[in-house]
Amino acid sequence: MKRWVPDLSRSGGPRYMAIADVIELDLRSGNLVVGDRLPPQRELAKQLNIDFTTVARGYVEAQKRGLVKTHVGRGTFVTGGREKERLGFASDAIPDIRRTSAVDFSMNMPPEPDDPDLLARMREGLSSVATNLVSLLRYQGFGGAGMDKEAAAAWLSRRGLVPSQERIFVTPGAHPALLAIFGMLAKPGETVLSENITYPGMRSIAAQLRLNLVGLPMDEDGIIAVAFAEACETRKPKALYLNPTLQNPLTLTIPERRRAEICAVARKYHVPIVEDDAYGFIPQHSPPPLAAMAPDLTWHIGGLAKCIGAGLRLAYVVAPDSKAGWPFVAAMRANNVMASPLATALATRWIEDGTADSILRFIRAEAAARQALIADVLPAGSYRGDAISFNIWLPLVHGWTRSTFGSHMRSSGLGVVASDAFTVDGPAQEAVRVCLGGPIQRDKLKAALEFMAHALEGAPEMASSFF
């Protein structure tokens, strides 16, 4: 974390009491979190220009309140106290800071919830699941229990899908599901189609399975249906992969009319569609899934990583028919055995009690706020984004290349990924994907975006190297 310096003017009490008061206030605001290390007492006394004994008394008062704990030789660490209890931690359940991992901002993550009431509700669901802990540590049958499939069906119904339970499978994430599906549909050397600028995971899967991945030309509405038909005639593809809503990385959403055209071509040439609906739940109103328009042709993958949390490695897969599910189960069991029963039970609980909807509403609102920050610092038309996408697609100007720009932004806290990662065929554009999700706070995000905007105003050699 950044160096913490308390603003003692926020408390009307004596200075030593003010130090403890501000620790508690900053816990509530998120400026301090459980596990943070406070500055050494002599260092803080010097920064605040007050006596060492005043700071020492302040730390003692904070420790009396249970807000901090001092470890000889290690320092003073935030533990939470009353604020911890208000946020839903049990008194003996202080988070283990060793579990806090570095955040990879190059991943396209949803904003992380920070609302205290929502966090408490999420923890309540986790506590409820834990009451059945022993049974959740056993092997489970693949695809989810009946109640998990019921929750999946309820969740998918928000996208207009009403498949029977025999066609629904709870899987350990979208990526393993994609690997299993394409391993079933195509053999090494055979062709599958995708957008020409597409999700990097699809490129990795094609490479691992030794498939010939061919990128289709695109316009503002996604892949061009005529080009899809021509590829079906000449290349005899085994499947088409699409990420049709808030597409990663271009953020485009294929409109309903184009979706109908794509489905018509797929039906004419008997080409299965693999619909990666990772972001489909983010818009409140979006076109119907391809699986609703051509259910007999489409493998639908409704991942939870983008609409609830990146660490919840679950995806609901809808097979085109119950018969297609048989080889899918065999393929999934060979690689993954089963989805985590703990994660599955938690997702089911959150869907049933409405917590998942609350998380989704938070993600929508925060994504919109972050996109508004982008609109404030970058000229309209200089980038591609959606009002609620987690990223933007940024064409580079003034002599910037994707490599020099990525290097320049490395210290900013923004995840900048060069276009090479997304390009299937042909030379990569001088463009980057800029990720806005994850735990970054708005003030830090705004500062990073302003740093980026300043750099883009001129040539690379004119840009400041300080952030």
Residue 198: CA atoms inside 13 Å, Cβ hemisphere, count? 28
Residue 91 CA: distances (Å) to CA of 70, 82, 445: 17, 9, 33
Place of tokens 């639908």: 300
105 Cβ contact partners less than 8 Å away, ≥ 6 residues apart:
413, 414, 415, 435, 438, 440
Q: What is the DSSP letter of 171?
A: E
457 Cβ contact partners less than 8 Å away, ≥ 6 residues apart:
398
186-198 tens-digit pLDDT = 999 999 999 999 9
Question: Rounded to whole angstroms, how far apart are CA atoms 444 and 47?
Answer: 23
9-66 tens-digit pLDDT = 877 778 888 998 899 888 877 788 888 889 999 899 999 989 888 998 999 888 888 8
Q: What percent of the chain clears pLDDT 70, i.e. is strictly above it?
A: 93
pLDDT attached to residue 95: 53
Question: Rounded to whole angstroms, how far apart are CA atoms 384 and 199?
Answer: 16
For residue 221, the one-letter residue type is D
Q: Is the pLDDT of residue 419 over 90?
A: yes
Report which secondary-structure segment, H or E, holds 96.
none
439-460 tens-digit pLDDT = 888 888 999 999 999 999 988 8
Question: Rounded to whole angstroms, how far apart are CA atoms 85 and 68?
Answer: 14
* 3-state SS class at 178: helix
Mean pLDDT check: name the lowest of 15-24, 283-292, 311-320.
Answer: 15-24
* 390 neighbors 251 (Cβ within 8 angstroms): no
Residue 368: phi and psi, rounded to 5, are -65, -40
Tell me the mean pLDDT in the region 273-290.
96
Residue 40: phi and psi, rounded to 5, are -55, 150
Q: Is the pLDDT of residue 361 over 70?
A: yes
Question: Rounded to whole angstroms, how far apart are CA atoms 269 and 313?
Answer: 34
Place of tokens 């591609």: 384
The alpha carbon of residue 339 and the mean position of all alpha carbons in its chain are separated, in whole angstroms, by 19
Tell me what the pLDDT averaged over the chain comes to. 90
